Structure 1
Amino acid sequence: MTTAKSAYPVPVAELLPQARQLVKHLGRTPSRNQLMAELRIGAPKARELLDRLAEEDQAKTPNPGGLHVVAEPAEAHHDESTETEAEAAEVEQATEPEPVPTEAQGAEHEAESAPTTTTADPAKPADKQAVKPMAVWPVMLLALPAFVAIWSGWVGLGQLTGFGIVHPLPGIADGFAINTAITLPIGVETYAAYALRVWLSGQVPARARRFAKYSALGSLALGALGQIAFHLMKAAGMTSAPWLITAAVACLPVAVLGMGAGLAHLIKDTHREVQQ
């Protein structure tokens, strides 16, 4: 026979009928611990209920001699309460309902109890493995015609601006000659493609990405202007370029060298960017 524990203290008057039923059920007066366990109350209320039950028994039992009940000495009553204080605490803890876990605690428990994931196994289905990168050979095929046109345009512009056959090793290899006009397409267009790759890779420091972005766009713009200048002069039948175009084209190898060296240093710089 048990009762649900309430959030508010139950008065002794309300617990008294339940204590009477417990007396009828046991056929005797229950002990204090039995009252505490069955009614889920503390030691003070259990003692008060026992006093009430004793008074009711005395009222029902005839007392011709005028005898009266002598109360326990306060000292003995205090000793009994101290001896059973730990036992009463254990009874109350045993009778308290288990706390209901909250949603956050339940989610944390599920996360802890969930099985740990393992690394991808080549034998598993393909949808659980890394996606295979797309092939780049179509881009190379598309770039081949553009490369031929750009190469011929830069070489022709170089010849119109004074680039031509030179002997780079006089006295060592007099027969070795090279046309310096090929340095224009190799330098400008190769740097533009490399800087574009560095900019879009996302694997370099922020300063290197900014430099690669603007220098790549600038190189592509210079390449487009060079092609326009060559085809306009070729269509006009010119055999030499004006001095402004010659001066600009002559500075291109130096500009490409400076941009390439600067980008290489910025790529290796992994320190934190200085805020200005």
Structure 2
Amino acid sequence: MSTPLRTSYPVPVEDLIPAAREFAAELGEVPSQNRLMKHLRIGKDKARAVHAALTEERAEDRPEIRLHSVPDPDESTAEPTTEAGTVNEATEGAPEESAQVTPPRDLLPTTDTAPVDPVPAAAEPNGARGISPAPETTSDSDAETGDEMRPVRSWPVLLLALPAFVAVWSGWVGLGELTGFGVVHPLPGIADGFTLNSAITLPIGVETYAAFALRVWLSGRVPAKARRFAKVSALSALALGALGQVAYHLLEAAGVTAAPWPITTVVACLPVAVLGMGAALAHLIHTRPARPTKNGEK
């Protein structure tokens, strides 16, 4: 049985005719354009050209076919019949010498009377047909889909982060000064003139970790255990940052110059807590589940 051509390049009509001729030999008749389109997986224009070539070849071979279409000697007096066995009305009542035998239907060229497929062959997927279609025009729906798939630009986040950074920074630094954080000399004996306000460790540590854990949680590219930890710790860091801002503004509005000891205790533990959560999250990100051994032991 003939197999349809499969190639990623357009096949010329001349190369399609041998396969179409073999297909016509299997059917015993010239296939219609629609059948050629489906069997050879080609477009309508090429199917019309191949059909015309097969029809022309069959027309050239028709005289030889008529030589074999001889009526049965036992039925020489009977009227000629068609393939279905019915009397040919065109020759009924005509003189015997003018009667002609109608060739079988499968030996005559057929015209394409089947309804044309409303979907052109060029619209079929390339993987299903195997032959590159004619250049297609992009529809409005495809253009809309492509626009929807484009990534959304994130530069507006910078505008949102700038005022938030100013407010969060001033709030954490102010709360740190109320809880004992202040100017220190981080390099005594090395650079005595170098000073650093330790209150800046609060906004850098808490807010940076909250943003990092939030990204890890929403990325979807980390192990499930790391994603759960990032979710809980990110929400906790954001809630803690909000409580720190509330506490500072309440103390500032009340004119307090030194925070109560419970607030001082919590704020003093924040750098250590942020360090521990950051180290744990980094470890979970790079951890993969152990593969079980043949005996079922890990």
> Taking structure 2 as the reference length, what is the TM-score of the superposition?
0.50
Distance 2:198 2:206 in 1: 14
Bigger Rg over Cα: 1
Shift, 1:271, TM fit = 2.4
Partner of 1:248, secondary structure, is helix
Shift, 1:116, TM fit = 7.5
- Residues 142, 111 of structure 1: alpha-carbon distance in 2 compared, 3 angstrom cutoff: closer
Distance 2:188 2:291 in 1: 47
Q: How does 1:4-43 map to 2 (within 5 A)?
A: 25=72, 27=74
1:44-81 deviation digits (Å, cap 9, x = unpaired): xxxxxxxxxxxxxxxxxxxxxxxxxxxxxxxxxxxxxx
Q: Does 1:181 align with 2:196?
A: no
1:223-243 deviation digits (Å, cap 9, x = unpaired): 011111111111111110111
Q: Does 1:261 align with 2:261?
A: no
Partner amino acid, structure 1, of 2:196: I
Shift, 1:272, TM fit = 6.0
Shift, 1:135, TM fit = 1.1
Does the aligned pair in 2 maintain the 1:155–1:184 contact within 8 Å? yes
Q: How does 1:191-210 map to 2 (within 5 A)?
A: 191-210=209-228
Match of 2:243 in 1: 225
Shift, 1:139, TM fit = 1.4
Q: For this pair of structures, how many residues does the alignment match?
A: 165
1:140-184 deviation digits (Å, cap 9, x = unpaired): 101211110010000000000000000011011111110000000
- Residues 129, 236 of structure 1: alpha-carbon distance in 2 compared, 3 angstrom cutoff: closer
Distance 2:191 2:126 in 1: 76
Aligned-pair identity in percent equals 67
Distance 1:112 1:196 in 2: 41
1:125-147 deviation digits (Å, cap 9, x = unpaired): 99386833111111110121111
Does the aligned pair in 2 maintain the 1:154–1:227 contact within 8 Å? yes
1:3-57 deviation digits (Å, cap 9, x = unpaired): xxxxxxxxxxxxxxxxxxxxxx565xxxxxxxxxxxxxxxxxxxxxxxxxxxxxx
Shift, 1:245, TM fit = 0.6
Runs of 4+ in 1 over 4 A off after TM superposition: 110-113
Match of 2:164 in 1: 146
Partner amino acid, structure 1, of 2:210: A
Q: How does 1:241-256 map to 2 (within 5 A)?
A: 241-256=259-274
1:182-237 deviation digits (Å, cap 9, x = unpaired): 00000001100111111111111111110000000000010011111111111111
Does the aligned pair in 1 maintain the 2:185–2:195 contact within 8 Å? yes
Does the aligned pair in 1 maintain the 2:126–2:132 contact within 8 Å? no
Partner of 1:149, secondary structure, is helix
Does the aligned pair in 1 maintain the 2:233–2:277 contact within 8 Å? yes
Q: 2:185 aligns with which of 148, 161, 167?
A: 167
Work out which structure has the larger RCO, using CA pairs closer than 8 Å and 6 or more positions apart in sequence.
2
Structure with more helix by fraction: 1
Distance 1:160 1:167 in 2: 19
> Taking structure 1 as the reference length, what is the TM-score of the superposition?
0.54
Q: Which runs of 5+ in 1 are unaligned?
A: 1-24, 28-109, 119-123
Q: Which runs of 5+ in 2 are unaligned?
A: 1-71, 75-124, 293-298
Does the aligned pair in 2 maintain the 1:207–1:273 contact within 8 Å? no
